[in-house]
Every structure is written in C-alpha cells, then in structure tokens.
Amino acid sequence: MRVLFLGDVVGRSGREKVFQSLPDLRRRLALDFVAVNIENAAGGFGVTESICTDMFDAGADVLTSGNHIWDKREIIAYIDNEPRLLRPLNYPADTPGRGASLHEIGDGRRVLVVNVMLRLFMDALDDPFAAVEREIADMPLGYGADFILVDMHGEASSEKMAMGHLLDGRVSLVVGTHTHVPTADHAVLAHGTAYQTDAGMCGDYDSVIGMKKDAPIDRFTRKMPSARLEPADGDATLCGVFVETDDASGLARRIAPVRLGGQLSPAWPE
C-alpha cells in the first residue's frame, strides 16, 4: 500500500498549498490513502466544517488533529457526525468525536488511523501509550487492518521516539505532529514500522512555526502581551512523509520525506 501523511496545515497559505498539490500527488505517487493533520488550518487555530469539506474534495481520506481541535466551536457538532475527522484518542471518554477510525479503500483493504496526544509539555490527558495499545489490540495489523497509521501529536522527541519503538512491528507508520518542523530521522525501524519524529507543517516557513514573526518575537523579548498571533501568508512548503508497505505483512518497505515549494529544500521519494 502507498500512503501519504501531511503534517500540520497552518492557515490559508498552507491550505492552498495542499489544495493545489494533493490531486497531483495522488496521481504521481499512485497513492492508495492520504491523511492530513488540520488542527491549525483555520487562521492558525482549529478547523471548520468548510475546510474539512475542501480537504476531502482535494483528495484527503482522513483528517487528524491535536490540541487546537476545539478552537472553532462549530467543529463540536460536526466531529460527532464525521468519522473521517479525528480528535486525540486519549481525551476523556465522553468527549465528542473519536480518536481512531477504520477506512476501507476501493479494493477492500482497510486502513486504521489512530490520533493520540502525548503528555510532555502538553495538556495532561489520559495515558497515550495505553490508549494506542488498546486500539491496536482490537484491530491488529494483518488481521483487522492492512495498514495502521499513528499520528502522535506532541512536543518532546523522546516521548515520540518511545512511542515509535513501543509500536515497532505492530503498526505501519508512527509519525509526529505539532512542532511544525520536519525532522531528518525518517527510517524503517528494526521490526518494520516506518517512523519520523515530526512531519513538519504545510505552511509558510518565513515565520515562527507558521505565524507572522513580529508578535512571537515581541512575546519572547519583552515578556509582555503582544499582538494576536496570525498565520504567515507567504509561499508555503508542503511537508509530509510517503510510506510504501508490504501487502502481506502491512509493514514498511520504505519511508521518504516529501517537501514541495516555499523556503525548505525539496524532497521527493526516489
């Protein structure tokens, strides 16, 4: 199976880059499935129903999120009725929406997507490691699902690496989101799981993690309230990872970064 995961979409610039690029990416990479993290897609904070619809129309199969999922109040009613939009799995049990979903592609193969939020320097949610363990126990790779993708939304690289090694050999891809900076450690781990600590963002990198520079700089240098954070609106880089798996095992044959446009150096699967 050939799967593309795109990191956090930030603001209009990031959205437009994904909308423009994704149809061609699906064709050129012969993709079977696409997942996109959209928690910063609406003005840098949260997502709306109309943005989700546009993402699906552009070619996304499922949308993941993180700590900004509730920033636009309208999403609360929408998420309960849209299984393709996920919030972190380890929110309390009565939280609207779902943290994992199983998707069947056209040829009958099934993709399980799990969205979890980590805890170091983040909100204190339920144990993310135990939450993922329960989910994949109910839907094991090769039996319940042909591909398992885990989006781990978190700050600390150590916590993300621990999650990757814990799940090695039992899921297809473990990939991080939230820091908005693509890491250079994409690899197939010892037991066959594709891993990258953070996929990066789809947004303008002439910025401070996707935001116009002046307000964040002012906050750091003056330690005072400053202007509202606003997404940078220059030329965006699309950042993500491409994974190809063995159909018999569901484990990874290869993982490669994808970076297109904007300031960052380009990367493309060979």
78: nearest Cα among 119, 35, 42, 128:
42
What whole-number distance in Å separates Cα of residue 151 and Cα of residue 157?
14
DSSP code at position 193:
-
Residues designated as active site: 68
Give me the helix-helix angle, 49-58 and 11-28, nearest 10°: 20
Strand partners, 196: 175
DSSP code at position 146:
S
252 within 8 A of 243, measured Cβ to Cβ: yes
What does each C-alpha distance from 105 to 24, 34, 62, 141 come to in angstroms?
19, 11, 12, 16
Give me the helix-helix angle, 128-138 and 157-167, nearest 10°: 20
What whole-number distance in Å separates Cα of residue 90 and Cα of residue 99?
7
